[in-house]
Amino acid sequence: IVLSGGDDRLWKTWGFPDGNILLTGEGHTDWLSGCCFRPSGTQLVTSSGDTTVRIWDLSRRGCILTLRGHSRAVQGCSWHSCGDFVASASMDGTSKIWDVNSERCRYTLRGHEDSVNSIEFLPFSSTVLTSSADKTLSLWDVRTVSRL
């Protein structure tokens, strides 16, 4: 199964090798910039130009949580390997770590001087990597909300 999102505001799952569309999700009001499966495979996260991050349940075929807090478009998203946290990167110059269980922002990472374009958790760690339009990469320890 492959996951995609695009300018049409939809995410889609595709079966391979046939390339058939298995599921389609709608709900964002602007383009999708990122999407990825939860490590368990039962949910997915999407990020959008509409400033939100959404969690989708595949068995319910719908959005179960909308995370709001960025003031500009969200450029990317990533799941932590434990499946309890989602990270988001935004054009507002911040990144956020969201606690999916409590449905709130746990940490806001500040320090880039321009749009944060991508974010990834390092596997099985509390470290995230961000890239920015300010031409820098940063490693962050999300337990202390500090750059490494």
Domain CATH code at residue 86: 2.130.10.10
Please, are residues 112 and 72 in contact by the beta-carbon 8 Å criterion? no
143 pLDDT higher than 90: no
144 pLDDT higher than 90: no
114-130 pLDDT per residue, tens: 999 999 999 999 999 99
* Average pLDDT score over the chain: 95
> With bands split at pLDDT 50, 70 and 90, how would you rate the model's confidence at 44?
very high
CA dist 72 and 125 (Å) reads 28
Please, are residues 125 and 137 in contact by the beta-carbon 8 Å criterion? no
pLDDT of 77 reads 98
What percent of the chain has pLDDT above 90? 90
CA dist 100 and 65 (Å) reads 9
pLDDT of 148 reads 78
pLDDT of 2 reads 92
61 pLDDT higher than 90: no
Query: Residue 17 contacts by C-beta under 8 Å, 6 or more apart in sequence?
Result: none
| Domain extent for 90 | 2-147
Who has greater pLDDT, 86 or 61? 86
pLDDT of 140 reads 97
65 pLDDT higher than 90: yes
Domain count, the chain: 1
